[in-house]
Amino acid sequence: MQHSFVERLDILRHRCGFPFTITSGYRDKSHPVEASKAKGGRHTQGIAADIAVTNSVERYIIINTAMRMGFNGIGIAGNFIHVDDRNTAPVLWVY
pLDDT for 17-51, tens place per residue? 999 999 999 988 887 887 787 787 898 999 999 99
Range of 15's domain? 3-94
How many domains is the chain built from?
Answer: 1
Compute CA distances 42 → 19, 28, 49, whole Å: 23, 11, 9
**CATH label of the domain that carries residue 74:** 3.30.1380.10
Mean pLDDT of 49-61: 97
pLDDT of 93 strictly over 80: yes
Compute CA distances 43 → 2, 20, 36, whole Å: 10, 18, 13
Residue 54: predicted pLDDT: 94
Residue 34: predicted pLDDT: 78
Residue 29: predicted pLDDT: 83
- 67-79 pLDDT, tens digit each: 999 999 999 999 9
| pTM of the model as a whole | 0.92
